[in-house]
Amino acid sequence: MVDAAIAAGITFIDMADAYGNRGGSERLLGETLGSRRKDVVLATKFGLPMDEAGRLKGASRAYVMTAVEESLKRLKTEWIDLYYLHRPDPATPIEETLRALEDLVRQGKVRFTGCSNLSGPQLADSIEVARAQELEPFAAAQDEYNLLSRGIESDLLPVIERHGMALVPYFPLASGLLTGKYRKGQPIPPGTRLSEQRFSARFMGEKNIAVVERLAVFCAERGRTMLQLAFGWLLSRSCVASIIAGATSPEQVQQNAEALRWQMTTDELAAIDRIAAGR
């Protein structure tokens, strides 16, 4: 799959230290990339628990400095291109985290820093603190955003846009619902993400399914795919720097890469928004 991604021109790979049973994702990627490390942009995260006791977590300076060394070791690299705070740490002042990350940038171990799952007010506060203390603010934010999940538009997205940050949406396909594989009255394919209760309960409501049915018709009328629609809609947002979509096979990797070809018109975007709103 890594071979297929690089061959398709995909150069941005996103992970976290906690993925793959705490370290497995980074370790496997480090072993797989080898000398091709210089050809890709690597993003990883810190902050989620890395032990059963829950002591190895958070955003304190001491933990950040330990976590980055472990990630570098697993990834077999000397630097991380984009290093995210995975989620807010209420026990640590944001200034402490920002100072630790700035030191990592100065040391050459990290190139850019980001945050994930902060609220709009939390992100705005971090930017205010960074400027007051003459620290570099977060350059990117990774948050849930797709046609069916637009909660960040009310408070977080305006902060991102106002300060010229990059947005990297996760769940761009609403855990697969926006691929068009899940249709009304049909069973959910076994082994897929939406076959898990926590994801199906989140995305498979009657309203969302009705919206997807109408979007499928919209795509069919234009000779487009649902994948193209989901990605094209996100890429129409000027702050979206990249889309991170999971894949379980080289074929899916190729499909994801080929789906980035629909440059939507203003009228198409307006029509999609009306459908998504149930109008």
User: Which of 44, 161, 164, 163 minimizes the C-alpha distance to 104?
Assistant: 44
Q: In what order do the strands lie in the sheet with 110-116?
A: 12-14, 41-46, 80-85, 110-116, 140-144, 166-170
Strand 41-46 and strand 12-14: the pairing is: parallel
- Give catalytic status of residue 63 as yes or no: no
Residue for token pair 């705490």: 22
Catalytic residue among 19, 63, 145, 182: 19
- Give residues with Cβ within 8 angstroms of 252, minimum separation 6: none
Torsion from C-alpha of 141, 216, 266, 157, nearest 10 degrees? -20
Q: 55 Cβ partners below 8 Å, 6+ apart? A: none
* Helices 266-276 and 226-235: angle between axes, nearest 10 degrees: 110
Catalytic residues: 19
